[in-house]
Copies of this chain bind each other. A is one copy, B any other.
């Protein structure tokens, strides 16, 4: 039996898993992503998380065929480098992530884009496996996307899938990317947090930041949003409604252009808010669908928070 490692490197946490030949999870660990210390600190924590996952699988790093890493930012898979990872500490320049982590662990390391590996995992093992073509909508800190066309991830010239930067409102809200009117300006968790802070500063009442403090978070995590919605916080409700509307427009636009079989919703917020919100996104897309009598299937991720690690492990051949 061959074991492989998968690391999902997020802005908040690192998830490590060990899988077997059947892609069954044999061991798992989770550590917070360092908020300082730059790439070197992140590599140390990636290695520690992987060792802990191996240990929980009753094995050692040296027994793994290799480790895959799903990472945010600009991934050069061939070079094994990561650059411009805005949610990681001091990670602007090109950094040899694969080589450094491989040096630490002593086994081969391959890296891939976080959203793409998660969508690839859904294609092979999850909610996408019954569809020839689908759009992955990764709703989290940002809004990631990936297109599976005829059974393969469509990469374009290497940068396809930037669903978060589909324009939903010409001249609209400023996006964290600096542009105006992007989907992510309305639906990305980071952008929504910024909007919520501005609203609170301007006097709007909200429980969002109290819930955040109570849960000892530094950001409005998906869990914070979910609790605020349960507690019927009006600002949270309005911002989530706006996000759903923007997601509907963005997904509708892409569907009109590519006409895929299905839309698979994942990501931190998508996973946390779950099936009722997949249905809400479908409802919000409906009025924008040109072929409105034949909408794509809208389905929730099946792999949830494990998708990133599972997809990362798929980067390693057994």
Contacts and interface: CB of A to CB of B under 8 A. Distances in A.
Interface of A: 133, 145, 147, 149, 154-163, 165-172, 177, 179-181, 245-246, 249-250, 252-254, 256-261, 287-288, 290-291, 294
A154 B253 contact: no
B170 A245 contact: yes
A174 to B, nearest CB: 12
A294 B157 CA distance: 10
B258 A288 contact: no
B257 A147 contact: yes
A288 B168 contact: no
B290 A159 contact: yes
Nearest to A246: B170
A168 to B, nearest CB: 5
A165 B261 contact: no
Nearest to A166: B253
Nearest to A259: B156
Given A179-B288, A290-B177, A167 B253 contact: yes
Most B CB atoms within 10 A — which of A157, A161, A177? A157
A290 B165 contact: yes
A202 to B, nearest CB: 22
A167 B259 contact: no
B133 A156 contact: yes
B288 A165 contact: yes
Contacts of A260: 156-157
Nearest to A180: B287
Contact of A257 (B257, B288, B291): B257
Given A156-B258, A254-B257, A256-B162, A288 B167 contact: yes
Contacts of A253: 165-167, 253
A145 B249 contact: no
A254 B162 CA distance: 9
Contacts of A258: 147, 154, 156, 160, 257-258
Contacts of A245: 170
Contact of A256 (B166, B171, B249, B252): B166
A177 to B, nearest CB: 7
A118 B249 CA distance: 28
Contacts of A290: 159, 162, 165, 177, 179
B257 A145 contact: yes
Contacts of A159: 259, 290-291, 294
